[in-house]
Amino acid sequence: MPGFEIFGDKERKEVSDVLSTGVLMRYGFDAARNSHYKALEFEKTLGDITGSAFSHLCSSGTAALCTAMAACGIGAGDEVIIPAFTFVATFEAVLQAGAIPVFGEIDETLCLNPDRLEDVLTPRTRAVVPVHMCGAMARIDEIKDFCTQKGLILLEDACQSLGATFQGKHLGGFGLAGCFSFDAVKTVTCGEGGAVITDDPQVYERCHQYADHGHDHLGGPDRGADGHPILGSNYRISELNAAVGLAQLRKLDRILEIQRRNKQILKDAMTSLPGISFRYLPDPFGDSATFLSFMLPTEEKTRQACKELAENKIPCPYWYDNNWHYFKKWHHLKNMSCAAPMAVQLCGNLPDYKRVTLPESDEIMKRTLSMQIMLSWSDQDLEQRIAAIKKSFTTIN
């Protein structure tokens, strides 16, 4: 999957453009920068790819989520529905906003189940943040319908699903805003980076302002002359990181093509394995194919398969036991182990996360394994993997 597999001369060239001028910041220094605006160019390219009117690059995917929350007007005391299977950054961003994460069940898409949203809806619900996990889509059309019906903000966490589409439209583009991550293990990497996309001019204004201390960017060459319409913070990307990402983003089509091919070969070979079923994809053609996720009939068989596969050098993340991606192991959240008291603790509506149960998500996660799809596999590597996978399954009964 990851962009780090194809880091090369194009990335070095973009970075050396920046190093040749010494202008490492995206704003200002116009005379010295020799027309290099890597962050700006990245944003234009991302907008072209995703078909969104605006995009804003930030210092990380988490920063992008925090920026998007603020720009969409999600704040103190608001409840935000997010899935129980995601990366911790999703609920971190909600908490940073002073808002309250409320966990919804997932379904066999491995993403938020639209049929279970009503169960966790309250008069304080402000937004729904579906997370398009492991390269592919939630039932985003149904989630969008629910949000429209209930007057809720739809903000997509598409951090893991750059390039994935649903019925031809890029994930991240269905709601008021969508976020991507370009960290070191994502489809495209900046080293560290993230972005917000939106079609709403005001949300975009708020994004570039919020991520740069509230600067309105209207002061011309003198940043000191900028106004500050809103309070903000510093979630700026550096030009060096943007430069790496720009070269990577231009390789996205090729990345997707290789991922999709490699995944299809593995999936075809695995379809006949006993007891196996695959993650449900609402639009298989839009899958970015970073992972092949599959289910076995029971937890016991899944654990056994995980062990056998690992022994045959096919490590498959078992998210159910993973510290970072599933609700079960988020003890720091359950205990609200904060470095200092958080704003949400004063809102009076914070659930006791220790008592939250998610039986449907548990049932799915217990039976799910994922296999990361790499770009660097040769045909021979694929053949060997298939043989190793088949061998692993002969011992499962």
Ligand X SMILES: *Cc1c(COP(=O)(O)O)cnc(C)c1O
Q: Which residues bind ligand X (CB under 6 A)?
A: 60-62, 86-87, 89-90, 131, 157, 159-160, 181, 183, 194
Q: Which residues are catalytic?
A: 186
Output the smallest distance, CB 291 to ligand X, in A.
Answer: 11
Residue 311, token pair as written in the block: 């022994």
Give the strands of the sheet with 277-278, arranged side by side.
Answer: 277-278, 291-295, 368-372
Nearest residue to ligand X, by Cβ distance, number only: 61
> What gap in Å lies between CA 307 and CA 295, rounded to an integer?
15
Closer residue to ligand X (CB): 371 or 396 = 371
Output the smallest distance, CB 264 to ligand X, in A.
Answer: 23
Closer residue to ligand X (CB): 153 or 188 = 188
Closer residue to ligand X (CB): 1 or 389 = 1
Output the smallest distance, CB 365 to ligand X, in A.
Answer: 15
Output the smallest distance, CB 61 to ligand X, in A.
Answer: 2
Long-range contact pairs involving 381-388 (C-beta distance under 8 Å, separation at least 24): 382/262, 382/265, 382/266, 385/266, 385/314, 386/265, 386/266, 386/269, 386/270, 388/309, 388/312, 388/313, 388/314
Output the smallest distance, CB 161 to ligand X, in A.
Answer: 9
Beta bridge partners of 198: 54
Closer residue to ligand X (CB): 23 or 64 = 64
Burial of 265: CB neighbours in 10 Å, binned 0-12, 13-18, 19+ = middle
Burial of 143: CB neighbours in 10 Å, binned 0-12, 13-18, 19+ = buried
Long-range contact pairs involving 8-13 (C-beta distance under 8 Å, separation at least 24): 10/247, 10/250, 10/251, 11/243, 11/244, 11/247, 11/248, 13/247
Closer residue to ligand X (CB): 98 or 245 = 245
